[in-house]
Amino acid sequence: MAFAPPKETYSGKVYAVTIGTGENTITFGEENVLPFHTFEGITPNRPIIAYEIQDVPPIDWPENVQKPYEGISNDPVSWAKFCQDNLKANAIALRLIGTHPDRENRSPEDAAKTVRDVLSAIDVPLIIVGSNHAEKDAPVLVAAAEAAKDRNCIIGKAQEANYKTIVAAAMANNHKLIAMSELDINLSKQLNILITQMGFDRERLITDPMCSALGYGLEYTYSVMERIRLAALTQNDVTMQPPMLGDIGMYVWKVKETQASETDVPQWGSTEERGITWEAVTAIALLIAGAELLIMRHPRAIEAVEKVIEELI
């Protein structure tokens, strides 16, 4: 007798989000089942992984994740083109970390120029994220959104402290928007409601419930993402139906396990392999929890995750 897996049916559906312009668009989301449950319903779009680049050289990144971009990461345009042309990136995530007051404190005008330069050099969709300094991100992301007007980018991250300014910029310049809350399903829902009350279409939102690395609260992140996705599908909660983001790289490559030298902890094995594995395992866990969009750093970690996605789909 052939095995017939039991099937669940769900009343809700994740919104489809399309970014980019012309022939160079990608769509993620739109599934009406739990992650990779292709036997139960429709999963028309595979998860998307964006390669992270920065507006300034990544001197704070560990050497093992700087190495694949050696000689090009001092220029965001060259870096973006390398990811697109050599690594076949589906999307680029430009982090404007140089605008942070504790870094170079670059101006919104500097950020806008970087965005224009990167957009002129690539064809794939662009994600533009600030430095995660809520006060500074507001003017920076307004300038970035204007510089990328009508290019259908994703901008973010809108937080409770600055969402009104960033939402208005996204609406005025035809972009999608990342809404970030602090690892709490109720805060995530509240922020999505506040944003949509401003007139922003919930179908243009991406939810970022915040991220954590393997060994540093990953199980809590997983449970929050899982609850968001279950609310979207089983309760048909429209405020929880935007796709979710896992901003992996920035959390993974700062933990001890991805940086500690083989001299200090020889029993842990190769530092490089350890870091790549740490990023890949974190990413796969969040995909299974419900993330449809990932931002990652190491090309080999991305390659490993792409293989897992292909096998599960």
- The one-digit pLDDT tens for each residue of the chain (313 residues) are 788 878 889 999 999 999 999 999 999 999 999 999 999 999 999 999 999 999 999 999 999 999 999 999 999 999 999 999 999 999 999 999 999 999 999 999 999 999 999 999 999 999 999 999 999 999 999 999 999 999 999 999 999 999 999 999 999 999 999 999 999 999 999 999 999 999 999 999 999 999 999 999 999 999 999 999 999 999 999 999 999 999 999 999 999 999 999 999 999 999 999 999 999 999 999 999 999 999 999 999 999 999 999 999 8
Report the pLDDT value the prediction gives residue 18, as an integer from 0 to 100. Answer: 98
Element (H, E) at 279: helix 271-289
- Please give the order of strands across the beta sheet that includes 293-296: 205-208, 176-180, 154-158, 126-129, 92-95, 48-54, 293-296, 245-247
Report the pLDDT value the prediction gives residue 2, as an integer from 0 to 100. Answer: 84
Element (H, E) at 49: strand 48-54
Report the pLDDT value the prediction gives residue 313, as an integer from 0 to 100. Answer: 87
List pLDDT tens digits, range 136-188. Answer: 999 999 999 999 999 999 999 999 999 999 999 999 999 999 999 999 999 99
Distance from C-alpha of 114 to C-alpha of 224, rounded to nearest angstrom: 34
Cβ atoms of residues 51 and 302 within 8 Å: yes
Report the pLDDT value the prediction gives residue 33, as an integer from 0 to 100. Answer: 96
Question: Between the CA of residue 35 and those of 29, 235, 288, what are the distances in Å?
Answer: 10, 16, 6
Report the pLDDT value the prediction gives residue 103, as an integer from 0 to 100. Answer: 95
Report the pLDDT value the prediction gives residue 113, as an integer from 0 to 100. Answer: 98
* CATH code for the domain defined by 16-251+283-297: 3.20.20.20
Query: Can you give the pTM of this predicted structure?
Result: 0.95
- Tokens standing for 16? 């489809």
- Tokens standing for 69? 């971009």
Q: Which of 218, 217, 208 is nearest to 244 (CA)?
A: 208
Cβ atoms of residues 143 and 137 within 8 Å: no
- Can you give the residue ranges of every domain in the chain? 16-251+283-297
